[in-house]
Structure 1
Amino acid sequence: MEPPPRKIIHVDMDAFFASVEQRDDPSLRGKPIAVGHAAARGVVAAASYEARVFGVRSALPSVTALRRCPDLVFVPPRFDVYKQVSRQIQAIFREYTPLVQPLSLDEAYLDVTANVQGLPTAWATAKAIRARIFEETGLTASAGISYNKFLAKLASDQRKPNGQFAVTPDMGAAWVETLPVARFHGVGPVTAKKMQALGITTGADLRAKPIAFLRAHFGNAADWYHAIARGEDHRPVDPDRIRKSSGSETTFNRDLLDPVEIEAGVRQMAEDVWGWCDKAQAFGRTVTVKVKYTDFQQITRSRTYPGPIDTAEKLHTASTDLIRSVLPPAKGIRLVGVTVSTFDSLADGPVALPLFGDDAT
């Protein structure tokens, strides 16, 4: 007999950093705010929902954010406070299950298959957890409930902010078919663009592609894409999993020889990686740049620094220095990637996000 389906909850705090700032400073409530610095080379770390209406998002350059929203209020980040609140939230999770896998300071997977609190359903458990978070922190959270991690994470976005959504075993595969692939965890902006160029815009399009086609175009990630297009994900919630690296890579539409274009590609990959590092508050000391040439020869260049790469500028500089060591190229470059590793500490606890696809972090 097959075991019963798992009961997985993905809890995601609503605009976490910005919401903490609005909670602690009532004068900011209802205003478009960005956590970060308004300096010329500043980057938005988080944006309130009022700011998101104007297209302000995390990782957006501060000058662009101000152009989109002239009334935007910048608030310096207080990571010590965010970590303290995150510890409160994690403690609540563990009252409902020992199987908690944090992804960053503001989100986690919970396996509630074993009903610790004796609540009638996983839906009721998610509702109780969200109520406890609000009662103890004054902050709202959204939740997705399903029989696997992939669907639970997708579901948590469905009723944001301050809502929850369930994807049951009888609806999972059909529901995935209706969604744009750009929403799928493991399909980043670069891969989504590549899929769209191949005529894959929805889950139904992805499901229709044979595995051989996916392997030809997406390599090792093909099996993952084939599975999630059917609503399948057998990964367990692993409370002991610690992230060892964060990487992002992309295959260019054509082989590149121009150093300026190659550097721009590396910088974009560094930006993708920094987005995860910043959110997870996990800063490594080793930066690696990967290059694959037109003949599929592959090389890497790495450097380990004495201190953590804890700003976007440091990561951009390190990545650029490494790629310049192989420029100008003797032959065309088809792929570049950037990886950060050697994490000294991870947000005061295990932090993990699985890597799937060319640009997932």
Structure 2
Amino acid sequence: MLSSAIRKIIHIDMDAFFASVEQRDHPELRGKPVAVGGSRARGVVAAASYEARKFGVHSALASRIAAQKCPQLIFIKPRFDVYSAVSRQIREIFYRYTDLVEPLSLDEAYLDVTENKIGMPSATIIAKEIKATILAETGLTASAGVSFNKFLAKIASDLNKPNGFTLVTPDKADALVASLSIDKFHGIGKVTAAKMQQLGINTGADLRERSEEELVRHFGKTGLYYYRIARVQDDRPVQPHRIRKSIGAERTFDVDLVEEEDLLERLHFLAQEVAQDMARLQTSAKTVTVKLKYFDFTLQTRSKTLLNYLNSADALFTISRELLRTPALPLFPVRLLGISVSNLLYPQDQPASHQLTFDF
């Protein structure tokens, strides 16, 4: 049983969010394989419905590969304004229970309900109420993970998707983490997982056997994080008002991108994602950086600092497109693309008479 000294953390993750919104708003798409973004010939999948995932279609997959995997796949143009509005609706539901809400993106967030607005001691009951309310008010399903730290709550929410619920109590945590495949660990990406597997680290139990010194030697400072999560140690609080020095989004592709049209389509999606985060944090930026990782893992960044602050997706995409083409379009296949903004201006940093505007 959770003691009063232990945090009660919920991680809510919407199920196939963009695709589910499209299926909700277009009944003819329900039960069918849907990909948001791209087209049958070009582009990259931004989100896939669960019907499409059964065929191996997933986000960041090249559209032409997705169409080969699932010939009946239906491609839908993204509607970011709609997704943003639904995200705000869902976030308002969270705030009925606690002000300690830390959004990670449009479709997921951490909530600390150790003490909450309804005086409910059970995080399980709160999580199930939130899921039911989201379904009733938006017509969408969410998966929830409940545990005593953020790492475990995040892992838990992914275990029984879609429309899942998983509670990880202290007496079950060690066994769960030990049994997890290393590529299921939040914070361990594909490249790091592959490196760990080469070192014979295939599960949480394998990771737990390695010393702090060995993990730091192989993975740098991040090795400290790996050492701790293998032992279910995560003291990070839910941070509703984090002051961030930069905001970014990036994607690694299963198939390297070569064509300018494909790169620009993915860049446009990333610009929308970063702009959504800027709007949520009520900030604007002067510096834009485009990150490129090539097929041989060579990394390149291209940055530009502006005279004035920007905060709209269109402006961010325009600058990012310019950076992608300057001094020239990438000469080699691109396996990762990212956009970040820095040199941020928050409302408390500016005169009261100046009002930020966000273009969506």
Q: TM-score range by the shorter chain?
A: 0.7 to 0.9
Q: Please give the root-mean-square deviation of Cα atoms over the aligned residues, in Å.
A: 3.7
Q: Which secondary structure does the structure 1 equivalent of 2:341 belong to?
A: strand
Give me the whole-angstrom Cα distance separating, in 2, the residues matched to 1:69 and 1:83. Answer: 28
189-198 or 39-48, which deviates more? 39-48
Give me the whole-angstrom Cα distance separating, in 2, the residues matched to 1:320 and 1:58. Answer: 29
The answer as to whether partners of 1:101 and 1:109 remain within 8 angstroms in 2 is yes
TM-score, scaled relative to structure 2: 0.76
Task: Report deviation, 1:246.
Answer: 3.2
Query: 1:307-326 maps to which residues of 2 (within 5 A)?
Result: 308-310=315-317, 314=321, 317=324, 321=328
The answer as to whether partners of 2:35 and 2:52 remain within 8 angstroms in 1 is yes
Q: State the match for 2:129 in structure 1.
A: 128
Q: State the match for 1:22 in structure 2.
A: 23
The answer as to whether partners of 2:181 and 2:204 remain within 8 angstroms in 1 is yes
> Aligned pair in 2 of structure 1 residues 242, 59: CA closer, same or farther (>3 Å)?
farther
Task: Report deviation, 1:238.
Answer: 0.3
Q: State the match for 2:64 in structure 1.
A: 63
Give me the whole-angstrom Cα distance separating, in 1, the residues matched to 2:184 and 2:289. Answer: 28
Give me the whole-angstrom Cα distance separating, in 2, the residues matched to 1:231 and 1:339. Answer: 32
Q: Which secondary structure does the structure 2 equivalent of 1:96 belong to?
A: coil
Give me the whole-angstrom Cα distance separating, in 2, the residues matched to 1:178 and 1:319. Answer: 47
> Aligned pair in 2 of structure 1 residues 170, 274: CA closer, same or farther (>3 Å)?
farther
Please give the per-residue CA displacement for 1:30-72, whole angstroms capped at 9, x wherever unaligned.
Answer: 0000111306431111110000000110111111110110000
AA aligned opposite 2:324: T
Give me the whole-angstrom Cα distance separating, in 1, the residues matched to 2:155 and 2:240. Answer: 20
The answer as to whether partners of 1:59 and 1:275 remain within 8 angstroms in 2 is no
Please give the per-residue CA displacement for 1:241-285, whole angstroms capped at 9, x wherever unaligned.
Answer: 2541337799xxxxxxxxxx9x99xxxxx9999987665644885
- Structure 1 residue runs of 5 or longer lacking an equivalent are 251-260, 265-269, 292-297, 328-335, 347-361
Task: Report deviation, 1:4.
Answer: 0.6
Task: Report deviation, 1:343.
Answer: 8.3
Query: 1:1-361 maps to which residues of 2 (within 5 A)?
Result: 4-38=5-39, 40-243=41-244, 244-246=246-248, 281-282=276-277, 286-287=288-289, 302-304=303-305, 308-310=315-317, 314=321, 317=324, 321=328, 340-342=340-342
> Aligned pair in 2 of structure 1 residues 200, 147: CA closer, same or farther (>3 Å)?
same
TM-score, scaled relative to structure 1: 0.76
> Aligned pair in 2 of structure 1 residues 318, 309: CA closer, same or farther (>3 Å)?
farther
Structure of higher RCO (CA pairs closer than 8 Å, 6+ residues apart)? 1
> Aligned pair in 2 of structure 1 residues 271, 75: CA closer, same or farther (>3 Å)?
closer
> Aligned pair in 2 of structure 1 residues 248, 21: CA closer, same or farther (>3 Å)?
closer
Task: Report deviation, 1:196.
Answer: 0.7
Task: Report deviation, 1:337.
Answer: 10
138-147 or 38-47, which deviates more? 38-47
Please give the per-residue CA displacement for 1:134-183, whole angstroms capped at 9, x wherever unaligned.
Answer: 11001000000000000000000111111200111122122101101111
AA aligned opposite 1:124: I
Please give the per-residue CA displacement for 1:303-335, whole angstroms capped at 9, x wherever unaligned.
Answer: 347865549x949936995987xx9xxxxxxxx
Give me the whole-angstrom Cα distance separating, in 2, the residues matched to 1:279 and 1:339. Answer: 9
The answer as to whether partners of 1:13 and 1:107 remain within 8 angstroms in 2 is yes
Give me the whole-angstrom Cα distance separating, in 2, the residues matched to 1:62 and 1:299. Answer: 25
Give me the whole-angstrom Cα distance separating, in 1, the residues matched to 2:153 and 2:18. Answer: 22
164-173 or 92-101, which deviates more? 164-173
- Structure 2 residue runs of 5 or longer lacking an equivalent are 259-263, 279-284, 294-298, 347-360
> Aligned pair in 2 of structure 1 residues 87, 248: CA closer, same or farther (>3 Å)?
closer
AA aligned opposite 2:123: A
Paired residues in the alignment total 313
> Aligned pair in 2 of structure 1 residues 195, 274: CA closer, same or farther (>3 Å)?
farther
> Aligned pair in 2 of structure 1 residues 310, 273: CA closer, same or farther (>3 Å)?
closer
The answer as to whether partners of 2:8 and 2:146 remain within 8 angstroms in 1 is yes
The answer as to whether partners of 1:31 and 1:50 remain within 8 angstroms in 2 is yes
Task: Report deviation, 1:118.
Answer: 2.6
The answer as to whether partners of 1:173 and 1:231 remain within 8 angstroms in 2 is yes
The answer as to whether partners of 1:45 and 1:278 remain within 8 angstroms in 2 is no
AA aligned opposite 1:114: E
